[in-house]
Amino acid sequence: MPDILHKIDVKSSPDQTYGALTTLDGLAGWWTTTTQGNPSTGGTIAFRFGPHGGFDMKVLELEPARRVLWQVVDGPEEWLGTKISFELRRDGDFTGVLFKHAGWKEPVEFMHHCSTKWATYLLSMKSMLETGQGRPYPDDLHISSRGD
Amino acid sequence: MPDILHKIDVKSSPDQTYGALTTLDGLAGWWTTTTQGNPSTGGTIAFRFGPHGGFDMKVLELEPARRVLWQVVDGPEEWLGTKISFELRRDGDFTGVLFKHAGWKEPVEFMHHCSTKWATYLLSMKSMLETGQGRPYPDDLHISSRGD
């Protein structure tokens, strides 16, 4: 099964980077300002993107400053059941973030779009942690003719 | 075998987008200013990135305003023999660009980095075609602790 893979190195500590992935304020600062829910293990976080829909993620695993694993429990059919992980690793003054969105059934065109869109959101997270200013929805970078 | 997949929609015609992928000036405007070689079918194009190395691509297939296929004939070991394709498709005022970097043997960490880096270069191509200004090397967006 094809996966979406990314890596960015962020000039911040593993603790701070983990906070961007595991608090509502952190997530709202780089992915979508609408982030709501319970970001603890077993909780569900709702990410919404206005007319473009959204996702509900169940938090499966949290390992402080090391690892975050979510599973999609509501959202587009292609996303249902897929898993999203972030592995963090200290690298001098940086934290390396290895990202994987796994479990896609087929490499459909929507998967191509989501791969590029994930890159823009990871760049938004890097910017938020390094400069204090991310580009979460609705200020996200648009890459498609649909305006998302 | 895992692939890197991306999609961007560019507000330009398929002909103009094809030009960005098949002329030295076009490629130098979004990927690396050092682009040299022969971008015709059967030719080899050399892309260099200063201290970060580079790639030689053999042009395997060109279908005007539709499709470009390269194969890596020199570069990092993980890239040797891999194939890179761009499929173009008109979408109203936009051209959809489906990108695939196929043939990776393993989903190594370097593949994660290259996936994100390809996204930044595709955004650079979109910017070049829509605004006249891309971000080719050495003005590329840095995503790693190594400065690439």
User: pLDDT digits over B50-100, tens only?
Assistant: 999 999 999 999 999 999 999 999 999 999 999 999 999 999 999 999 999
Q: For residue A103, what pLDDT is reported?
A: 97
Q: For residue A18, what pLDDT is reported?
A: 98
Instruction: Give A48's strand partners.
Output: A54
Instruction: Give chain A positions within 8 Å (CB) of B113.
Output: 7
Distance from CA of A129 to the nearest CA of B (A): 13
Give the separation between CA B66 and CA B68, rounded to whole angstroms.
Answer: 7
Q: For residue B117, what pLDDT is reported?
A: 98
Residue from B7, B101, B121 to probe the interface with A (highest A Cβ count within 10 Å): B7
DSSP state, residue B142: P
Q: For residue A84, what pLDDT is reported?
A: 98
Distance from CA of B94 to the nearest CA of A (A): 7
Q: Using CA atoms in the order A123, A144, B121, A16, what is the torsion angle rounded to 10 degrees?
A: 10
% of chain A beyond a pLDDT of 70:
100
Residue A69: Cβ within 10 Å count = 19
Q: Within 13 Å and on the Cβ side, how many CA atoms surround B87?
A: 10
Q: What angle do CA A94, A99, A103 make, to 5 degrees?
A: 170
Contact A6 B112 (CB under 8 A): yes
B-proximal residues of A, 18-57, CB under 8 Å: none
Distance from CA of A104 to the nearest CA of B (A): 12
Per-residue CA distances from A72 to A64, A75, A81, A92, B49 (Å): 21, 7, 5, 33, 38
Q: For residue B80, what pLDDT is reported?
A: 98
SS3 label, residue B126: helix
Give the separation between CA A115 and CA A110, rounded to whole angstroms.
Answer: 9
Q: Which of B110, B112, B83 is nearest to B99 (CA)?
A: B83
Confidence band for A133, pLDDT divided at 50, 70 and 90: very high
A1 has a pLDDT exceeding 80: no
Q: Using CA atoms in the order A146, B88, B78, A111, what is the torsion angle rounded to 10 degrees?
A: 30
pLDDT tens sequence across A4-14: 999 999 999 99
For B7, which of A94, A98, A112 is closest by C-beta distance?
Answer: A112
Counted across chains A and B, CB pairs separated by less than 8 A come out at: 91
Mean pLDDT of B18-28: 98
Residue A122: phi and psi, rounded to 5, are: -65, -35
Token representation of residue B139: 């003005």
Contact A116 B91 (CB under 8 A): no
The three-state DSSP-derived secondary structure of A99-131 is EEEECCCCCCHHHHHHHHHHHHHHHHHHHHHHH
Taken in order A136, A139, A142, A148, is the CA torsion positive or negative?
positive
